[in-house]
Structures are given as structure tokens and as C-alpha cells.
Amino acid sequence: MRGLIFGLSLILLVSAWTQRVEGAYRLQPEDVIRIQVVGEPELSAPQLTVSRDGKISVPIIGEVQAGGLTTSELEQLIGRRYREMDILREPRISVTILQFHRPRVSVLGFVQRPGAYEFKEGDRVLDALSQGGGVIPERARLEGAWMQRLDGTKISLNLHRLLYEGDLTQNILLQDGDTIYVPEETQNRYFVGGQVKRPGLYTWRPGLTVLDALSQAAWETERARLSQTFVVRKKPDGSEERIRVDLVRLLNKGDMSQDIPLQPGDVVYVSETNTPNFDQVYRILSVWWLLRQLDVGGSLWRP
């Protein structure tokens, strides 16, 4: 008996709480509501979704602006319309919220999974980035990210400070309709070329050294001349400086002076060894032999 009484009390409490919430809550786009007209089932609407512009389509009346109204205000508005249109003299309208809208945030730009994601109350920028799979480290310009609100307000985000320095002032509370954009890094780049397995552009970061750059580009190839690695750097006056790096001394003798720090715009180039490439020589000789046989006999295939 006590359990039954407790269960009934809990149901009444939840019902009263729901009514209080609905009474104070103002309808938003994507809320799902039910409209009941007492004694007039043909005028009732069992399920309506508030559109993105805040409107609903009420039977006979047509479009009504529901967004921004409480359920009580919407009941009064619909009742007044029925009276003005001489459809009902004393309409009794009941509006119930069936499902609250689900807030969404768009995560765009250089993240792993761009798109729109639902979030819960209290979520912040880090939660949104996590749903987007995180930023693409080698391509994202973390210092230049931004967030835009539905009202057009634009907020600058320094994701480098948030992700790498723990600056929680950048972990801003999300609002429904927010858009977070992570732009591409187009300036802080360096290039690795020559005898590496993955030549190309890479994103520069503070503290990056030649060894770091070559590790990213997979520099351990058979044809690499490690003692003849160069860093080509543009000076402020526009001229170029060529800095030789001896990786043999760095790796074999621990000479850390060879592991120089890189700057944005640097080009790291690994020279090719002077040792003959026997695979290439073999291919050349094979082709030469085939051509020679054709020149002498006219055909490689003789009866």
C-alpha cells in the first residue's frame, strides 16, 4: 500500500512539475505539440511540429506564430482566432508539449567529421569538437577558429590555448543553433622534399626541429644522403639562406646542434646519395639488352 501511495504521489509530482515547466517555457522551433479543442475533435491536431520560423498550421485557422509563446498564450491566441472567424463562440483549447526540441550545434571546417550534432544542456565547445571527431591537427588553424550564434554574434576561439594550454575560458557554453568553424592553416607551413617517403607540406608548430619534420615525412630511405640535408629559409630582405644539416653527426655522435629549430616557410631537403642505384642500372641494362637483340636478330623469338 505504501508503495502504491508513493508511486501515485510521484506521478502527481511529475505531472505538476511538467505543467509548471510548460507554463513558463516558450515554444521553440522543432518542439512537438498537441492541440485539443474540447468537444470539437475535427479541429484538434494530435501532433504538430513548430517550424524553423516558429509557425504551426492549425486546422481551419491556418498558420499561427507559436514560437516565443507559452502554451497558455498559444491557447488564448487560437481561441481568439476561432472567435474572430465565428467558428466557435466559447472555444476551450488545450496545448500540450509532446517533445521538446533538441538543441543542435554545427561543427564545420577542418574537423574529422563535419556536421550538425545534438547536445545537452551544459555542453561546451570541447563537447561539440568531440562529437565532430576532433580537429585535424596537421591542417587546422587552431588560433583562428570562431563560433557564430543564431543572432549573428561572432565569437573568436583560440583552440590552441584550449587544447594544448588548458585555457578553459575558450571552452564556451553552447547555445542552440551555434556554429563552430575551424579554418585551414595556410601560413604556418613547411615543406619536406628530396629523399623522403612522404614529401609535401606540413603544419609548423612551436618547437619543431629538423628531426621532427623528417620523422613526419619518413626520411629513412636507401637513397638518402643524411650528411647532406639542407634547410632553405627566406630572409626578411627576400634572399634565401641555405643551412646544411649533418644528420649523421646528429644520430651517431649526438650532436644536437644539427637538429636546428624550423621556422614557418622553411624547406627541408634531403639530398640523394652518390652511390650508384643498382636497381636502376639493372633496369637500364635490361632494356638495352632487349633493344640489342631486336636490332641484331629482328626478333627475340626464333624457330
DSSP-assigned letter for residue 56: E
Q: How would you write the pLDDT of the chain (303 residues) with one tens digit per residue?
A: 444 444 434 443 444 344 444 448 899 888 999 999 998 899 899 999 999 889 999 999 999 999 999 999 999 999 999 999 998 889 999 999 999 888 999 999 999 999 999 999 899 999 999 999 999 987 888 999 999 998 899 999 999 999 999 999 999 999 999 999 999 887 788 999 888 888 888 888 888 999 999 888 887 667 778 888 889 998 888 888 999 988 888 888 888 888 989 998 899 998 887 655 445 544 555 555 555 555 555 544 444
Task: Specify the length of the chain in residues.
Answer: 303
Q: List the grid coordinates of 91.
A: 472555444
CA distance 202 to 234: 17
Do 194 and 267 lie in a common domain? Answer: yes
Do 138 and 116 lie in a common domain? Answer: yes
Q: Tell me whether residue 216 is in a domain.
A: yes
What's the pLDDT at 107? Answer: 97
**Number of independent structural domains in the chain:** 3
User: What is the CATH number for 117?
Assistant: 3.10.560.10
Do 31 and 76 lie in a common domain? Answer: yes
CA distance 75 to 153: 33
Q: Tell me whether residue 49 is in a domain.
A: yes
Q: Tell me whether residue 291 is in a domain.
A: no
The C-alpha cell 636478330 sits at: 297
Instruction: Tell me the whole-structure pTM to 2 decimals.
Output: 0.53
Do 113 and 74 lie in a common domain? Answer: no
CA distance 23 to 75: 11
Beta bridge partners of 62: 58
Q: Which of 99, 125, 151 is the last residue of a domain?
A: 99
Q: Are 149 and 175 in contact (CB under 8 A)?
A: yes
Contact residues for 176 (Cβ-Cβ < 8 A; gap 6+) = 28, 101, 103, 104, 105, 150
CA distance 68 to 45: 20
Could you give phi then psi for residue 7, rounded to 5 degrees?
-65, -45
